[in-house]
């Protein structure tokens, strides 16, 4: 059964499937839970035998033997409690790890369009808070339910054998409790789901605020950020208030129902003693059993809350797992061989939303080894065109071929292994410089990493740092300058050594001096590769073999620098405008 089929089943069926790899541990946990329940049931019955038979008949040896057995039973019970507490929790942790593994693997498979529409903080909430609730349910849920049912059924049967009339009176309260629980459960389910949604909102707001902390301080907008967070936080408080109000009503009803059972036991038991239908020892035994099954009743009540929280989180997990990637490998997708770099864009149209075209009927051929620059006003579709080649999005119409192969006919992984991308906003992972460069090819040796750094003209800078290649770059590379981050990203591409290179406004955020230095690295990187350059600064693309001007979702001009200037069209206007601003 594949992932898609697995997650189309019912929620409970999917939940139980996570126990299968840990079945032996689950059986051990349940056996120990059964032992605990049996010991709890044995004590009142053994006490009744001792009080009714052993002591009145002066069987003191047998009495103390029974007490010794009970003592040993409780010692065994303590050992089983250890197993339940330790190994039961470890089973829950392993299930949580399996769920998180599946969630992360699925999130890795989702397309760019998914992340365009979902906030990081909300996804983090699903991977942390929701999974914690699921873990608690995975461990405590079956165990508490099993112990409670065994204890209640066992106690009821034993009480029936002692005095069936009194047993029926006591257990008449149970249906009332069940109906009350069902009614309150509906309120708690609705409130619990709302709490989860609001918690995800808080995490999303928090993630956004922390990521934008420098911007907030630069604009002195801390008060505005506090207000936004206060609004989200108040929504969370409101959802929690509704949840706890429902829970308080449930617990109040529970705390009324359980003591009523004690009162009923004494009242009805006293009546049956007056009628000569039972004795004081039986009444004491009943009282002990009432105490015995009050604990499982409380556990059942806690299980209701646990089940609601856990299943609310699990439903959100399953909903995410049911999201299908917008871009998927074809069932018969082939592994793309090492590419030469010939690209054909054949009558391609694309839209992010139906009816809102971003590209319309684009046709373009880029021979292997050619450098093509793409320019034009913002929003014209330059970056989108280049994102279609590695298949971050699928074309709406037409096709894109690399070395004669439709990009939809090969696996995404093999396609992207042949393409290197350097973006304006360089993302570096929180780690060392060595780790970030090696990300281009994880199996590369240290010497290969050093050579890539030399070719990217960052080696000398790194060696001047206190820890050299082991220097920690900070969150998103905050410890490095813009130029250093860009050259680290270039070193990654040198290490990857792809046949196709896409430079997406890679120098637009840098000053002219740094840009000139990095341009040398780009020129070296582009040698022998098919290169697409998206650029705003037209001075950086004068040496491109061909320049495309994209505007109004189409290619409106193409040619080399001199040809486009001579044509006096849109490129010439852009170039002259930038030149006059520069002057």
Q: How many residues comprise the chain?
A: 583
How far, CA to CA in Å, does 287 sit from each of 281, 283, 356, 373? 10, 6, 74, 87
Cα atoms found within 13 Å of the Cα of residue 561, Cβ hemisphere only:
12
Tell me which residue has tokens 């990187």: 525
Q: Which of 501, 502, 519 is nearest to 510 (CA)?
A: 519
Check if the beta carbon of residue 105 is closer than 8 Å to that of residue 97. Answer: no
With vertex at residue 39, the alpha carbon angle to CA 37 and CA 40, rounded to the nearest 5 degrees, is 65
| CATH number of 339-418+533-583, picked from 3.30.200.20, 3.40.50.410, 3.40.50.300, 1.10.10.1590 | 3.40.50.300
> Which residues, other chains included, contact 126 with Cβ-Cβ below 8 Å and sequence gap of 6+?
103, 200, 313, 316, 317, 320
pTM: 0.69
Query: Any idea where the domains of the chain sit in the sequence?
Result: 7-321, 339-418+533-583
Q: What is the pLDDT of residue 82?
A: 93
SS3 of residue 334 by DSSP: strand
Q: What is the pLDDT of residue 406?
A: 92
Check if the beta carbon of residue 546 is closer than 8 Å to that of residue 558. Answer: yes
Q: Around Cβ 578, how many Cβ atoms within 10 Å?
A: 14
SS3 content of the chain, % helix, strand, coil (to 5): 65, 10, 20
SS3 of residue 545 by DSSP: coil
**Helix 23-49 / helix 129-162 crossing angle, nearest 10 deg:** 30
pLDDT, tens digit only, all 583 positions of the chain? 566 678 878 888 888 888 889 999 899 988 998 898 888 888 888 887 887 778 778 888 888 888 898 899 999 999 999 998 888 888 888 888 888 888 888 888 888 778 777 776 677 777 777 777 787 788 778 888 888 888 888 888 888 888 888 878 877 777 777 677 767 766 776 777 677 677 666 666 666 666 666 566 666 677 877 777 777 777 777 777 877 887 787 778 777 776 777 787 788 888 888 888 888 887 777 777 777 766 777 777 778 777 877 887 888 888 888 888 888 888 898 999 988 989 999 999 998 887 778 888 889 999 998 989 888 887 778 888 888 988 988 999 999 999 999 999 999 889 988 988 887 777 788 788 888 888 888 888 999 989 888 888 888 888 888 888 888 887 767 778 777 888 888 888 888 888 898 888 766 555 566 666 667 777 777 788 898 888 777 767 877 889 888 888 888 888 888 888 888 888 888 878 776 655 4
Residue 475, by phi and psi: left (phi above 0), alpha (psi -120 to 50) or beta? beta
> Which residues, other chains included, contact 380 with Cβ-Cβ below 8 Å and sequence gap of 6+?
550, 551, 552, 553
DSSP class of residue 540 equals G
| CATH code of domain 7-321 | 1.20.1560.10
Check if the beta carbon of residue 242 is closer than 8 Å to that of residue 153. Answer: no
3-state secondary structure 97-158: HHHHHHHHHHHHHCCHHHHHHCCHHHHHHHHCHHHHHHHHHHHHHHHHHHHHHHHHHHHHHH
DSSP class of residue 50 equals I
Tokens of 477: 């590379």
How far, CA to CA in Å, does 300 sit from each of 13, 37, 187, 287? 21, 14, 17, 20
CA–CA gap between residue 523 and residue 519 (Å, rounded) = 6
With vertex at residue 289, the alpha carbon angle to CA 285 and CA 291, rounded to the nearest 5 degrees, is 120
Residue 511, by phi and psi: left (phi above 0), alpha (psi -120 to 50) or beta? beta
Q: Around Cβ 310, how many Cβ atoms within 10 Å?
A: 25
How far, CA to CA in Å, does 158 sit from each of 176, 264, 532? 22, 18, 81
The bridge status of strand 419-423 relative to strand 500-504 is parallel
With vertex at residue 104, the alpha carbon angle to CA 101 and CA 106, rounded to the nearest 5 degrees, is 105
SS3 of residue 252 by DSSP: helix
Cα atoms found within 13 Å of the Cα of residue 548, Cβ hemisphere only:
25
Query: Does an H or E element contain 430, and which?
Result: none
Check if the beta carbon of residue 45 is closer than 8 Å to that of residue 284. Answer: no
SS3 of residue 370 by DSSP: coil
Check if the beta carbon of residue 103 is closer than 8 Å to that of residue 320. Answer: yes
Q: Which of 458, 512, 466, 462 is nearest to 490 (CA)?
A: 458
Q: Around Cβ 407, how many Cβ atoms within 10 Å?
A: 22
How far, CA to CA in Å, does 477 sit from each of 120, 451, 482? 19, 21, 9
Q: Which of 122, 320, 118 is nearest to 202 (CA)?
A: 122
CA 47 to chain centre: 52
Q: Which of 133, 190, 138, 185 is nearest to 310 (CA)?
A: 133
Q: What is the pLDDT of residue 281?
A: 80
Check if the beta carbon of residue 426 is closer than 8 Å to that of residue 485. Answer: yes
Check if the beta carbon of residue 106 is closer than 8 Å to that of residue 58. Answer: no
């Amino acid at each position: 059964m594949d992932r898609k089929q697995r997650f189309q089943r019912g929620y409970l069926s999917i939940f139980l499937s996570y126990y299968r790899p840990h079945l032996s541990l689950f059986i051990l946990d349940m056996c120990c839970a059964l032992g605990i329940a049996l010991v709890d049931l044995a004590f009142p019955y053994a006490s009744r035998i001792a009080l009714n038979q052993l002591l009145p008949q002066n069987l003191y040896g047998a009495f103390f033997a029974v007490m010794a057995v009970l003592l040993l039973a409780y010692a065994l019970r303590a050992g089983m409690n250890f197993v339940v507490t330790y190994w039961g929790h470890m089973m829950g942790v392993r299930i949580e790890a399996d769920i998180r593994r599946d969630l992360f693997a699925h999130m890795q498979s989702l397309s760019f369009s998914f992340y365009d529409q979902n906030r990081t903080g909300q996804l983090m909430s699903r991977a942390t808070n929701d999974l914690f609730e699921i873990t608690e349910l995975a461990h405590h849920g079956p165990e508490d339910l099993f112990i409670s049912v065994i204890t209640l059924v066992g106690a009821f049967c034993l009480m029936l054998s002692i005095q069936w009339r009194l047993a029926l009176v006591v257990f008449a309260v149970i249906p009332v409790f069940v109906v009350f629980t069902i009614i309150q459960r509906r309120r708690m389910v609705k409130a619990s789901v709302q709490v989860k949604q609001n918690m995800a909102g808080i995490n999303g707001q928090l993630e956004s605020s922390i990521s934008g902390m420098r911007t907030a301080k630069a604009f002195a907008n801390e008060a505005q950020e506090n207000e936004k967070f206060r609004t989200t936080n108040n929504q969370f408080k409101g959802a929690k208030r509704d949840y706890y109000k429902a829970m308080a009503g449930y617990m109040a009803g529970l705390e009324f129902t359980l003591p009523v059972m004690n009162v009923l036991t004494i009242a009805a038991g006293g009546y049956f003693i007056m009628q000569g239908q039972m004795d004081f020892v039986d009444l004491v035994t009943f009282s002990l059993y009432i105490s015995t099954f009050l604990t499982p009743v409380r556990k059942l009540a806690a299980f209701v809350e646990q089940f609601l929280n856990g299943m609310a989180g699990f439903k959100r997990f399953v909903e995410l797992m049911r999201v299908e990637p917008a871009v998927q490998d074809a069932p018969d997708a082939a592994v793309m061989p090492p590419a030469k770099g010939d690209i054909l864009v054949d009558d391609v149209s694309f839209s992010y939303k139906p009816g809102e075209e971003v590209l319309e009927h684009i046709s373009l051929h880029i021979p292997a080894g050619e450098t093509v620059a793409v320019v034009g006003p913002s929003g014209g579709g330059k970056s989108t065109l280049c994102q279609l080649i590695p298949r971050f999005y699928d074309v709406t119409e037409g096709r894109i071929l690399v070395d004669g192969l439709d990009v939809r006919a090969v696996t995404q992984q093999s396609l992207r292994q042949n393409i290197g991308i350097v973006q304006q906003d360089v993302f570096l992972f929180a780690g060392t410089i060595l780790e970030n460069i090696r990300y281009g090819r994880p199996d590369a040796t240290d010497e290969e990493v050093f050579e890539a750094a030399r070719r990217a003209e960052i080696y000398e800078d790194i060696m001047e740092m206190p820890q050299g290649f082991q220097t920690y770059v900070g969150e998103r590379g905050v410890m490095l300058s813009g130029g250093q981050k860009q050259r680290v990203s270039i070193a990654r591409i040198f290490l990857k050594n792809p046949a196709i290179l896409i430079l997406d406004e890679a120098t637009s955020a840098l000053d002219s001096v740094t840009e000139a230095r990095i341009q040398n690295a780009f020129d070296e990187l582009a040698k022998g590769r098919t290169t697409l350059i998206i650029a705003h600064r037209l001075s950086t693309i004068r040496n491109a073999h061909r320049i495309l001007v994209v505007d109004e979702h189409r290619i409106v001009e193409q040619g080399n620098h001199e040809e486009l200037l001579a044509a006096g069209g849109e490129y010439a206007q852009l170039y002259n405008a930038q030149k006059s601003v520069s002057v």
